[in-house]
């Protein structure tokens, strides 16, 4: 349940209609309880998203805070994303070379590597790395602010916390994920080439030419921009879990952990759905 | 509790209330705070059960009571952080329970709130904490903001700690900075939630003196929630004792002392 904060619309329940809740058999309760809990969580997330969306169209537009968050979420995730991209590129190159040599398709290595990285590996690795770093950070920061009444203090001073805290972080995640994905893609291809050239020297230009044979712009654009959806998920869930934290330091820990777990889970789920979606529109 | 079919009606009332506040230009009509028939429950637990209180401009009301009697909830209702189940809250003649967010924020700018644990923004310095409302709600230049922050911090005796982080301050110092932040927009109403809680007697005395000094300087209406009877006696013009969701007695300290209400007698005896 959300906190008793006034401005999130309250859910309609049968108790509102003056009806007593019907007792359920214990077997049903054990099945229904987690489903009910999940539906409640999802409903609260929907109400939270509605509050954030409503706050987005109101002045002031929080430009300074947005820039601060772009730096916090984007620039500071850069090294980790670059490193993850580089490691994946190098590993993919070494593993693919071994497999392709077995099937006599060694010349396909650059194309296999580049396609793999720009279409799937780069976006999903970026999504998961950022959900770990940024999701935990947002969940812990807002969770800590919630339990120490700092969010109440922001609200009491006449500032909308949904806009100042949540909207700015969500927009920063949406804007930075595609850029970070490009960083991961570039580092992946670069270190894939380095791994390859250590075994069998080839120029970077030649590697790229072979890698992008038959590729078109949509091979890069569609998968890269789908990470904006990952950004939406990471920002939304991190802010939601943080702003509903309760119960002191344990609550802060829970909001940080659950932000990472849930945002990673939903990023993977969204990836499956979006891959199918992209294949339909960009076959 | 609102039923879905009531939402449309409330939206119309809300719109009318917003129009009223806009047309009044925020002028002060009536007492600073008027609470009538205020009810608030959390689940099955009734916290406030029909609270009626009035605070005039320049007056200080101390709300006393045992822990968990809804004193802090009362303050959060007044500033709109929570909504009452029923009843009305008037701020200078303006009913706030039906206001939408933008109109409510206009009212909030005229109120200062000191939280129980000060609630300073822990990622900002003392200076930035006090400047936060000024940056958001005024058109002051950076240098004007700086001067105002120094003036406010000087008034609470913290002028030498501009660049410190909240984590570097003691509890009493955090309360002082919290007070400076609450006074930044020169509010007409000051809400203080347990200003002396967790402080040693000497620091508590200093905070009481500071509140008295600031009240004299700013001539605000103040509501102080506390369970510290000595502090309430020092800073308040009137006291209200909350018990089982209701105001058991309201009046000066002498009037409370004369009361024959068993709970009032017990409360005063325990605290003396």
B-chain CB neighbours of A144 within 8 Å are 122
Pair type for strands B33-42 and B221-225 = unpaired
User: How high is the pLDDT of residue A215?
Assistant: 79
> How many Å lie between the alpha carbon of B266 and the closest alpha carbon of chain A?
32
A-chain CB neighbours of B121 within 8 Å are 145, 150, 153-154
pLDDT in tens, B178-219: 999 999 999 999 999 988 887 788 888 888 888 888 888 888
- A257 inside 8 A of chain B by CB: no
Residue of B nearest to A159 (CA): B105
In-domain check, residue A233 = yes
The angle subtended at Cα A216 by Cα A213 and Cα A217, nearest 5°, is: 140
CB contact under 8 A, A153 and B113: yes
- A250 inside 8 A of chain B by CB: no
Per CATH, domain B56-83+97-110+187-271 is 3.10.580.10: no
Pair of tokens at residue A276: 């199918």
In-domain check, residue A11 = no
CB contact under 8 A, A148 and B122: yes
User: How high is the pLDDT of residue B153?
Assistant: 92
> How many Å lie between the alpha carbon of B243 and the closest alpha carbon of chain A?
22
User: How high is the pLDDT of residue B9?
Assistant: 42
Residues A252, A244: Cα–Cα separation, whole Å: 10
User: How high is the pLDDT of residue A21?
Assistant: 56
User: How high is the pLDDT of residue B52?
Assistant: 94
Residue of A nearest to B103 (CA): A158
The residue of A5, A6, A17 whose CB has the most chain B CBs within 10 angstroms, and thus the best one to mutate to test that interface, is A6
B-chain CB neighbours of A156 within 8 Å are 79, 81, 108, 111, 113
pLDDT in tens, B2-34: 444 444 444 444 444 444 444 444 445 679 999
> How many Å lie between the alpha carbon of A162 and the closest alpha carbon of chain B?
12
Residue B272 above 80 pLDDT?
Answer: no
In this prediction, residue B68 has a pLDDT band, given cuts at 50, 70 and 90, of confident
Q: In which order are the strands placed within the sheet that holds B60-65?
A: B111-114, B189-193, B221-225, B60-65, B238-243, B246-251
> How many Å lie between the alpha carbon of A111 and the closest alpha carbon of chain B?
47
In-domain check, residue A208 = yes
In-domain check, residue A20 = no
Residues with Cβ within 8 Å of residue B254, at least 6 apart in sequence:
none
Residues A170, B209: Cα–Cα separation, whole Å: 45
In-domain check, residue A25 = no
**What is the helix (H) or strand (E) element at residue B258, kind and residue range?**
helix B253-258
Residues with Cβ within 8 Å of residue A166, at least 6 apart in sequence:
A48, A52, A55, A142, A235, A239, A240, A243
A-chain CB neighbours of B119 within 8 Å are 148-150, 152-153
* Domain limits for position A120: 32-281
Number of domains in chain A: 1
Residues with Cβ within 8 Å of residue B270, at least 6 apart in sequence:
none
CB contact under 8 A, B113 and A12: no
- A144 inside 8 A of chain B by CB: yes
The residue of A54, A145, A149 whose CB has the most chain B CBs within 10 angstroms, and thus the best one to mutate to test that interface, is A149
Residues B11, B97: Cα–Cα separation, whole Å: 12
Residues A107-143: b if buried by 16+ CB within 10 A, e if exposed: eebbbbbbbbbbbebbbbbbbbbbbbbbbbbbbbbbb
> How many Å lie between the alpha carbon of B244 and the closest alpha carbon of chain A?
21
For chain B, give every domain's residue range: 56-83+97-110+187-271
- Predicted-complex ipTM score: 0.84
H helices, E strands: number in chain B? 10, 10
Give me chain B's average pLDDT, please.
Answer: 85
In the predicted model, what is the mean pLDDT of residues B121-141?
Answer: 93
What are B's interface residues with A at a Cβ cutoff of 8 A? 1-4, 42, 76, 79-83, 101-102, 105-106, 108-109, 111, 113, 115-117, 119-123, 132-133, 136-137, 181
User: How high is the pLDDT of residue B28?
Assistant: 56
In-domain check, residue A7 = no
User: How high is the pLDDT of residue A241?
Assistant: 96
In-domain check, residue A179 = yes
pTM here is 0.82
User: How high is the pLDDT of residue B225?
Assistant: 94
DSSP result, B171-235 = HHHHHHHHHHHHTTT--SEEEEESTTTT--HHHHHHHHHHHHHHHHHH--EEEEE-S-HHHHHHH
Residues A146, A69: Cα–Cα separation, whole Å: 19
Pair of tokens at residue A51: 């509050």
The residue of B81, B110, B145 whose CB has the most chain A CBs within 10 angstroms, and thus the best one to mutate to test that interface, is B81
Pair of tokens at residue B137: 């709600």
In the predicted model, what is the mean pLDDT of residues B86-113?
Answer: 92
User: How high is the pLDDT of residue A1?
Assistant: 39
More confident residue, A59 or B254: B254
Low-confidence ranges of chain A (pLDDT < 70): 1-24, 282-283
CB contact under 8 A, B109 and A10: no
In-domain check, residue A3 = no
CB contact under 8 A, B122 and A150: yes
Residue of B nearest to A61 (CA): B136
The residue of B72, B101, B134 whose CB has the most chain A CBs within 10 angstroms, and thus the best one to mutate to test that interface, is B101
The residue of B120, B136, B142, B174 whose CB has the most chain A CBs within 10 angstroms, and thus the best one to mutate to test that interface, is B136
In the predicted model, what is the mean pLDDT of residues B81-97?
Answer: 93
Q: What are phi and psi of B65, to 5 degrees?
A: 160, 170
CB contact under 8 A, A6 and B116: no
């Amino acid at each position: 349940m959300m906190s008793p904060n006034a401005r999130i619309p309250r859910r309609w329940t049968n108790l509102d209609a003056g009806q007593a809740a019907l007792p359920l058999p214990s077997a049903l309760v054990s099945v229904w309880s987690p489903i009910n809990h999940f539906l409640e969580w999802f409903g609260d997330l929907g109400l939270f998203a509605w509050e954030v969306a409503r706050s987005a169209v109101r002045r002031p537009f929080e430009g300074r805070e947005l820039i601060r968050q772009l730096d916090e979420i984007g620039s500071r995730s850069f090294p980790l994303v670059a490193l993850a991209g580089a490691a994946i590129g190098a590993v993919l190159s070494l593993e693919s070379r071994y497999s392709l040599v077995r099937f006599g398709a060694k010349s396909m290595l650059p194309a296999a590597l580049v396609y793999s990285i720009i279409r799937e590996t780069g976006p999903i690795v970026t999504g998961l790395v950022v959900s770990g770093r940024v999701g935990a950070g947002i969940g812990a920061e807002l969770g800590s602010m919630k339990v120490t009444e700092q969010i109440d203090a922001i609200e009491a001073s006449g500032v909308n916390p949904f806009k100042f805290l949540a909207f700015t972080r969500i927009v920063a995640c949406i804007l930075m994920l595609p850029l970070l994905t490009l960083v991961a893609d570039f580092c992946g291809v670069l270190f894939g080439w380095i791994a390859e050239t250590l075994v069998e020297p080839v120029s970077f230009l030649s590697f790229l030419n072979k890698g992008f044979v038959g590729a078109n712009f949509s091979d890069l654009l569609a998968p890269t921009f789908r990470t904006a959806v990952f950004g939406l998920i990471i920002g939304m869930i991190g802010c939601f879990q943080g702003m509903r934290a309760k119960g002191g330091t344990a609550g802060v820990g829970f909001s940080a952990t659950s932000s990472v777990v849930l945002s990673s889970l939903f990023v993977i789920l969204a990836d499956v759905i979006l891959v199918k979606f992209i294949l339909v529109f960009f076959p | 509790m609102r039923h879905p079919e009531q939402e449309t009606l409330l939206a119309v009332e809300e719109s009318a209330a917003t129009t009223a506040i806009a047309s009044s230009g925020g002028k002060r009509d009536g007492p600073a705070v008027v609470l009538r028939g205020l009810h608030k429950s959390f689940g099955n637990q009734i916290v406030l059960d029909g609270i009626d209180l009035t605070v005039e401009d320049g007056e200080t009301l101390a709300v006393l009571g045992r822990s968990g009697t809804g004193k802090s909830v009362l303050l959060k209702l007044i500033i709109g952080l929570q909504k009452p189940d029923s009843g009305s809250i008037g701020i200078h003649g303006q009913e706030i329970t039906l206001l939408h967010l933008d109109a409510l924020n206009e009212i909030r700018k005229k109120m200062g709130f000191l939280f129980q644990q000060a609630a300073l923004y822990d990622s900002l310095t003392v200076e930035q904490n006090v400047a936060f409302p000024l940056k958001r709600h005024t058109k002051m230049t950076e240098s004007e903001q700086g001067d105002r922050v120094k003036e406010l911090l000087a008034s609470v005796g913290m002028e030498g700690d501009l660049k410190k982080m909240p984590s570097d301050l003691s509890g009493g110092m955090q309360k002082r900075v919290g007070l400076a932040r609450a006074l930044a927009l020169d509010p007409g109403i000051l809400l203080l939630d347990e200003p002396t809680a967790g402080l040693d007697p000497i620091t508590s005395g200093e905070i009481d003196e500071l509140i008295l000094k600031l009240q004299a300087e700013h001539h605000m209406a103040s509501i102080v929630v506390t369970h510290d009877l000595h502090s309430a006696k020092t800073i308040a013009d009137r006291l209200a004792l909350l018990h089982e969701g209701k105001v058991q007695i309201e009046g000066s300290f002498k009037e409370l002392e004369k009361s024959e209400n068993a709970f009032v007698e017990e409360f005063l005896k325990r605290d003396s």
